[in-house]
Amino acid sequence: MKPQEYVRVSLLPAGFLTLPEHFFCADQHDKSIKNLVPSMSFLLEHIPSRTRVVFDLGLRRDLSAYPDNIQPHLRTRQPIQTIPDVCDSLNHGGLESTDIDAVILSHMHYDHVGTPSRFTMAKFIVGYGSRHILENGMNYHSAAHFEKDLLPSDRTIELPVQNILPQFTHPVEITTHFTNCLSSFSPGGQQEWKALHPFDNVIDLFDDGSFYIVDSPGHLLGHLNVLVRVSSDRWIYLAGDACHHSRILNGETGMAEWEEDGRHVCIHTDKNLALGTLHRIQNLKENGFQGGSVQVVLAHDAEWYQNNLKSIFPGAVDD
């Protein structure tokens, strides 16, 4: 029998920003309630291949380096803390950004993309449609500003179209420029999406059942999550922005909506798809996966962050 492989997961603090709770939680109507939350990144070390992957890059250390059109939005998210950023957190554990083999970006929002230019040796893995967003944007609310030159085209892998393509409420025509061939990063890995309950589309990155990229539609086109096995009976699911508060994940409240520029909007570009993704994650959390329990981590969960400081690199979640 083939031995079971594992992934070591370490927290990389990558900045904090302030989020008004009424934009996220349906039961919060007090617009004065704001929370300082982390924008978490993670170092994922695939033990058998000694491959180092970073999931998300958090906030940019130098806020002035964001484009002019995002600056008004940043002023609404103060206070913001950008030290340590993801590179500082890698350095704290004894690594440089050049030691990273790949960066998986959950999506293209400013508080998850950091400064990709500092990762000069890494491949970038992004969801299908990410190039379209970077080049054309998406006009749905004030945070939807993107940078055309964010990613290096010669080192960016845009994953192929999904086995079952989600039907967004506002479909866009997508053309792919980035390579969609994962073999340049992981020659032995699964190159196409496959169904794996409870998900419609996953990619087994190393072809050993330890590291799955999960298509997680709804929040933004190309939104990706990651599911990794950390021990024989434990998994960790990195949920990105599938939802923004643990009370939503736990079913205590729903996803908020609000009026902006005469339109009815949600933090997710397609709320129905986002709810479908959330239900799958809740299923995973409640029922486990392949005989093991699953710990779900939201990108901005302040309580999880405070309870898991020991997992900051060079520590790890399962230490």
Tens digit of pLDDT for each residue in 100-144? 999 999 999 999 999 999 999 999 999 998 988 898 887 665 556
* Mean pLDDT, residues 61-74 taken together: 93
Given a cut of 90, is residue 191 above it in pLDDT? Answer: no
Report whether pLDDT(98) > 70.
yes
If one counts every other C-beta atom within 10 angstroms of the C-beta of residue 252, the result is 11
Mean local confidence (pLDDT), 255-269: 85
Contact between residue 25 and residue 248 where contact means Cβ atoms under 8 Å apart: yes
Q: Of the given ranges (4-8, 24-28, 70-74, 184-188), which has the lowest mean pLDDT?
A: 184-188
Across all residues in the chain, what is the average pLDDT?
91
Q: Which of 195, 231, 185, 193 is nearest to 5 (CA)?
A: 231
Q: How many CA atoms lie within 13 A of 259 on its CB side?
A: 1
- What is the arithmetic mean of pLDDT over 50-63? 97
Q: How far apart are CA 25 and CA 19, in angstroms?
A: 11
Q: What is the mean pLDDT of residues 63-74?
A: 92
Most confident stretch, 130-139, 188-197, 256-265, 301-310: 301-310
Contacts of 272 (CB under 8 A, 6+ apart): 169, 218
pLDDT of 77 reads: 95
Task: Tell me which residue has tokens 């998210």.
Answer: 77
Q: What is the pLDDT of residue 230?
A: 97
The tokens 């080192």 sit on which residue?
A: 155
Q: Are 147 and 104 in contact (CB under 8 A)?
A: no
Structure tokens at 266: 């949600």
Least confident of 31-35, 113-117, 152-156, 264-268: 264-268
Q: For domain 7-311, which CATH number applies: 3.30.70.270, 3.60.15.10, 3.90.470.20, 3.40.190.10? A: 3.60.15.10
* d(C-alpha 191, C-alpha 319), whole Å: 32
Enumerate residues 6+ apart whose C-beta is below 8 A from 97.
87, 90, 118, 119, 120, 121, 122
Q: How many percent of the chain have pLDDT more than 90? A: 76
State how far Cα 24 lies from the chain centre.
Answer: 17
Name 130's Cβ contacts closer than 8 Å, sequence gap at least 6: 105, 107, 108, 151, 158, 178, 221, 222
State how far the Cα of 143 lies from the Cα of 69, in Å rounded to an integer: 9
Task: Give the type of residue at 280.
Answer: R
* pLDDT for the residue numbered 1: 44
CB 108 within 8 A of CB 61: no
Model-level pTM? 0.94
* pLDDT at residue 179, as a whole number: 75
Short-list 116, 110, 181, 187, CA closest to 150: 116
Give the Cα-Cα-Cα angle 79, 83, 87 (nearest 5 degrees).
Answer: 140
Tokens 């929040």 belong to: 219
**Residue 275: burial class (beta carbons within 10 Å; 0-12, 13-18, 19+):** middle
pLDDT in tens, 200-254: 999 999 999 999 999 999 999 899 999 999 999 999 999 999 999 999 999 999 9
Six-digit token pair at 175?
């053309």
